[in-house]
Amino acid sequence: MCSSCEKLNDFGLDAIKPHCKECCTTDKQPAVQRRWPKAILEVCTCKFRAYPQIEAFIKSGRPAKYSNLQIKYMRGLDPTVKLLDARGNVQETLSITKWNTDTVDEFFDTHLEKPAG
């Protein structure tokens, strides 16, 4: 990483700094969190026994925090989240079978746009 090369001066190693710079790679900045205008959580109620954490999320008051989240009951479907653009087109589909209740809530809090007003 290039930032490591910069620290060489602190240790009196400025003589090897040019050599370090030859192969350094730029430090990666954290990616900007993408926010989606709308999401759909799809699940089958017949799968609630297999995914009690998803049932707990849906039956709690948590989904009400997200006016742009739709819960859709689809026969036989494992829990998935579909992320939609402003036109309502599906851009990403994620399996949430291994997520716990808090992870689902945190995901929507982080990745769903906050409605204006």
Interval 43-88: pLDDT, tens: 999 999 999 999 999 999 999 999 999 999 999 999 999 999 999 9
Banded model confidence at residue 9, pLDDT cuts 50, 70, 90: confident
- Band (pLDDT 50/70/90 cuts) for residue 30 is very low
Alpha carbons 25 and 3: distance in angstroms, whole number: 9
Tell me the pairing of strands 69-73 and 38-43. parallel
Pair 48, 98 in one domain: yes
pLDDT band for position 90 (cuts 50, 70, 90): very high
**Paired tokens of 88:** 């309502």
The mean predicted confidence, pLDDT, of the chain is 88
Q: How many domains does the chain have?
A: 2
pTM reported for the whole predicted model: 0.70
CA distances in angstroms from 49 to 20, 42, 52, 73, listed in the order given? 56, 15, 6, 15
Evaluate whether residue 116 is within a structural domain.
no
Same structural domain for residues 21 and 75?
Answer: no
Q: Which are the contacts of 45, defined by CB distance < 8 A and separation ≥ 6? A: 73
Residue 13 token pair: 């190693």
State the residue range of the domain holding 78.
Answer: 38-111
> Has residue 117 been placed in a domain?
no
Same domain, 14 and 45: no
Claim to verify: residue 26 and residue 58 sit in the same structural domain: no
Same domain for 68 and 45: yes
* 90 domain-assigned: yes
